[in-house]
Chains A and B, each alone.
Chain A
Amino acid sequence: MANGYIRGDMIGISEFPYLTVKYNVQGVPKIIINEEHGIVGAMPEIEFAQAILKAIGK
């Protein structure tokens, strides 16, 4: 919502077990940014914002 470039999917792992294999999900929440940057566990909003910037090389 904060930026039009950003979209977010909430994905239930029970419904899509093949994605848990694809993204190697061993615990939840697991966050995947642009298909490649994986983060396990919840984190403060500011750290997450910084992880997004890091993922796009900023």
Chain B
Amino acid sequence: MGIISEKDREQLIKILKSIPNDVRIVMFTQEFECEYCKITRELIEEVSGLSDKISLEVHDFVKEADLAKNYGVDKIPAFALLGDRDYGIRFYGAPAGYEFSTLIEDIIDVSRRNPNLPEEVLSDLSKVDQPVHIQVMISPS
């Protein structure tokens, strides 16, 4: 019995059937997993099973500290969504409830290599010429 219900699973497979390009999920947990680490890993293992285009790598935050640092990961559970390059998208914690839709939408955008934003928004964002770190604090409900 997975975290994703059979009904949701079937629907997600349909939604993700048409994604055009590969998406790589790089996750950091640790050998003795915290409860949330385990839930997050199990959830994204199931997500990566929804499409052949989605692959998953699980790394050890402690033993592979340098790799975690390269990804800018400073806490766990964490995972990055990568396309043909690193778009700077990170999830910390298990994206459950409402946030699960955000994850699926992000996977679709990364697969399309397109942020799916209106022209005027892209135009504003093109003016950004220095590092911007956005942190969105969320809860599942």
Contact = CB atoms under 8 A, between A and B. Distances in A.
Interface residues of B, number: 42
Contact of B132 (A6, A10, A19, A23): A6
Given A5-B129, A15-B92, A56-B130, A10 B36 contact: no
Contacts of B140: 12, 14
Contact of A11 (B93, B125, B132): B93
Contacts of B110: 1
B136 A10 contact: yes
Interface residues of A, number: 37
Contacts of A58: 127-128
B139 A12 contact: yes
Contacts of B96: 12
A25 B135 CA distance: 12
A11 B136 contact: yes
B5 interface: no
Given A12-B99, A15-B92, A33-B132, A1 B137 contact: no
B49 to A, nearest CB: 21
A2 B132 contact: no
Nearest to B89: A8
Interface of A: 1-16, 19-20, 23, 25, 28-35, 45-46, 49-50, 52-53, 55-56, 58
5 contacts: A12-B94, A16-B93, A20-B137, A29-B137, A31-B135
Interface of B: 36, 72, 75, 77, 87-96, 99, 102, 109-110, 114-115, 117-118, 120-122, 124-140
